[in-house]
Amino acid sequence: MATQLFLTTRRRFLAQASSLTAATLAAPWIARAATPKGKILETKVISQQPEFYHGWSTVARRQNGELWVSWSGGRESHVDPFGQVHAMTSRDEGATWSWPRVLLDSATDDRDSGVIETAKGTLIVTTFTSLAYEAHLEKGTVFAQHTDTGWVSKAMPPGQLAKWKAAHARLNDAERKAELGEWCIRSTDGGRAWSTRIPTIVNSPHGPIQLKDGRLLYAGKQLWTKDRKIGVSVSRDDGLTWQWLAEITTRKGDKGGSYHELHAVEATNGTIIAQIRNHNDANKGWTLQTESPDGGRTWTEPHPISYGFPSHLQRLRDGRLVMTYGYRRPPYGNRARISIDHGKTWSDEIVLSADGRDGDLGYPSTIELADGTLLTVWYESMKAPQLALLRQAKWRLQ
């Protein structure tokens, strides 16, 4: 009996080990849950302004069934001085989408945008402001393509460079620095009117979540402080004000500066799970995970889940968790994993898309529709049109 058990265990280990990539074998042991199957029902482009570059979107479903997508629009490039926060809505489960509208347009680059509806019916949209384009302005270059080894830049034509300089000159140096921050805006009337910007202390692409105790919890990074901590801020007044709650410490050997682009979810057992994009050399491009058993006050040491970034986390009505993330290696696209045990283990990958032109894509987010179908939205540069657009996939777990 003991010999048979040993041989069975050994065969299972060798079968699983043979399917692991070199990067996985270099990481600590990663538990895998049983792998569900995903059936892709439809994939299509949903953006409607090919003259703009679309980036870093988030999708949310309101209590009344209306869908919202927000993103950074009005752009020419992955990095430029023109970024605005755009949004559009759907009242037919993503079959059609409204014409985009501008929610926020500061005099610098408004980037990644998250959106949620709170239990009180308040819409909250997040973003951050950036001057990362200044390095390109000085060189007269612009990002052209993202390969699996990094970004490729090209020289800007004189007319484009003149536009960048004019946009940059809207503010002086002191005014531009004062614009830097992590922000949210609120709407209490279904998105018709919006507040002025509210500082959120941290930022991440997909914004905060609401906990069952009513608090809003925002897992992210302090972008403009000296130490640039990662951790969580909370709001106890429906997003009107935010307070720092706790730092998430790095694991031994990692540099904290390489941790960013977090997202969190509260499992049905009360555990809060946060996932982190990691750019340390040992696990570059991997998603790490940390857990909090006490409402976000303390966090476990981060540990690796898989290659791919950044992740978005969603709890389904049956309690299962879905993580979706971009895959910036050939074949470029987006993937998902499922957890049936409150995030302790994750399934093997479900491929949502694998037809990307290059690595300028991803940041997918996922919601569950009324009939249990899942809808995932992401941004992507394709062969045509020239600038990045928004795509969605409807899919089912089997």
Q: What is the mean pLDDT of each run of 10 residues along the chain (398 residues)?
A: 40 38 41 78 98 98 98 97 98 98 98 98 98 96 88 95 97 96 98 98 98 98 92 98 96 83 98 94 86 98 96 98 97 97 96 96 98 98 92 96
0.85 exceeded by the pTM?
yes
Backbone angles phi, psi at 247, to 5 degrees: -90, 145
As given in the structure block, the two tokens for residue 357 are 């032109």
Render pLDDT for 15-36 as a digit per residue (tens, 0 to 9). Answer: 333 333 434 433 444 556 667 8
Q: For the chain, which domains are there?
A: 36-397 (2.120.10.10)
